[in-house]
Structure 1
Amino acid sequence: MRVIGLMSGTSYDAIDAAAADLEPAGDRLVLKPLGMVSERYDDELRAALAAALPPGTCSLAEVCRLDTRIGQAFAAVAVRADRELCEHRADLVASHGQTVYHWVESGRAHGTLQLGQPAWIAEATGLPVVADFRPRDIAAGGQGAPLVSLFDRLWLRGRPGTPVALNLGGIANLTAPDGTAFDTGPGCALLDAAVRESGCGGLPYDAEGALAARGTIDPRLLRRLLAEPYYALPPPKTTGKELFHAGHLRRALSGLGTLPAEDVLATLARLTAETVADAVRRVGGTEVIASGGGTRNPVLMRMLRERLAGVPVRPSDALGLPSAAKEAYAFAVLGFLTVHGLPGTVPASTGARHPSVLGSVTPGRNGLRLPPTGPSAPERLEVRDPRGGGT
């Protein structure tokens, strides 16, 4: 089955589409990556989305407009992926959508909202679409995240030691082989917020860590940031920009005088490196396989390697999955599992009462024809170069 996975993370910088051929082979699911395309949100839509996200507020009318416009943006990227990567031969689209709110109180997830109406994707591509993955796990008592944990466990199974899969998106999360998975805290969320607050650099993020590289870590600010109670909570746990947003940073900066933006960014990079390293040590990680936008920040990666001295940190590219596309490939796999009636969650990762088949399905132009008989649940994921070879 050829599946297009669509993803836009908590940094909401772009929509990524990754196409894959997925084929059961005994106890394995073989994934052949076909490539990735990516499109940034247009400036107007990105500004509207930024204004609606916490701590901002918006009306139901604005939610409706965003759901439609994000759905149309996802649809355009899916059409491009089908044309350029699949030669108009995809069978399914799996769309994560854009997370705009993750409702967590007292350590329990009560709800989650991803926008990007899948009907627009189905209409534009003619393909069935699996979307709205997270709510089913929350209804089963789970955190609804990190949903990549099943993918990570299947993918890293059999590697020596205790390999840890790390995603450095807006929020950082990790998965350990025993199923432990959780959000460690901010990945790039506070770094991006600091860039936007300062107006430095001309971009909504610190490109290649250039600003942080010129800064000095402020120990007072770092102590305040590390005092956030979230870091001490036991897993499973999840968080988001409901907590780690510009207001969180402003409160930490209060009373410290005017700090150069470069020093703030250097300190925030150290915060992410330290909280991620602490989480890796908590699960006994002997190797880190990293992906996500944060891997493109050399200052953050250098600090992380320093805090994890003796623990190798490798990009997911080394195992055959481009770090920028790994989450989109993960949701392609989750969509494949859904249409085959197979669960896409690990209760040990999310805290749910039981595994769940995830998402809802929007029929394509020719209706909905689910596979008549499906494979059994895979025990391992093999990434195989479509030209031959595997990892």
Structure 2
Amino acid sequence: MPFSLDRLRRCTVAVDLGAARTRVHIKQSGLVVDEPSCVAVNTYSGALIAVGAAAERMAGRTPEHIRVVRPVTGGMVVDIEMAQRMLRALVGEKVRRAWRRRPTLRAAVCVPHNADPLARRAAVETLAGVGARRVELVDAPTAAGVGCGLPVEQPQATMILVCGATTTQVAVLSLGAIVAAVTVPMGGDTINNALVQHLRNHHELMLPSQAVRPLHRALNNSATPSDAPTEVHGRDVVTGMARTILVDPQDVRSAVQAPMTGLLDAIRGVLHRCPPDLVADLADRGMMLTGGMALLPGLDDRLRENTGMSVHIADEPAGCVVRGLAAMTEGGVRPFAPGGGRPDARPQDSEPQDADGRHAEKQTAEAG
């Protein structure tokens, strides 16, 4: 594997810094943080007003002096200071005191597979700012594969999609490493923005951020043309007054066609870069969907129809990354060992090697 499992086993904290949610797992304590990656700050004094779910509820409802910040975008930290303050507030004083009592605290954090050196450094500095003395970086697709129970350490192909809020990572894994991967700027927020833009252009209606959720049901491919239209409430672009309209399900599916096409093209590109033997494995095993957007209605059916591969949704897909990272820190993953032997077992020395070894020890003693 490109990362060291031995160093990961020494880590006490596993962190998944996602654009939508931040999750923190601590050894022997389990999952201690599962909150939205959101911070509300007073622009006059710089003081934190709220973090997590409380800050997310303030989005779009704040006065001028309160700003709602999302310090993580696409799995990469874009505001180190705010990310540190968010983590300190989320983990709580009790956990921070326990971390300070351990001067050798190690932490593991997930990063996108194609993260540049600046993004990796930002992740390290964020964890170092909350007490970590050493930070191990793990590719998010590998951690997600471990978290959903896929045999990523075996010499067989495994395709996984990490469907996040702002990006989707498509990767093929084998022997614990990424064979081919690509990141697509398409996630749950992209779908919502496409729906909002469609309603603005075709119905002259502005929707609040949470009003898009009812439209997701219309994305299900099993819907029929006779389905009833979806009722949405918003603000009229011209008059500024509240208005209610009925949206046809077919219009909703047409609005998200462009981002879905980009995801399908990315999957085909990853398959094109894979060796034929691995593609043959994928034809039998299919692909696994993880991440919060994996539960988007109709996503699995659309991928199945356009790729011809079987599509599976992981159990609790939103927590696969942090579960996989926690399994690595707790020693639940071992490298592939040919023949079924222990990967860390040393072969027994033969008699000639023992004789040479004793001869070497004798020469060392004589030299001493």
Normalising by structure 1, report the TM-score: 0.47
Q: Decide which structure has greater helix share.
A: 2
Q: Does 1 or 2 have the higher relative contact order (CA < 8 Å, sep 6+)? A: 1
TM-score by length of 2: 0.49
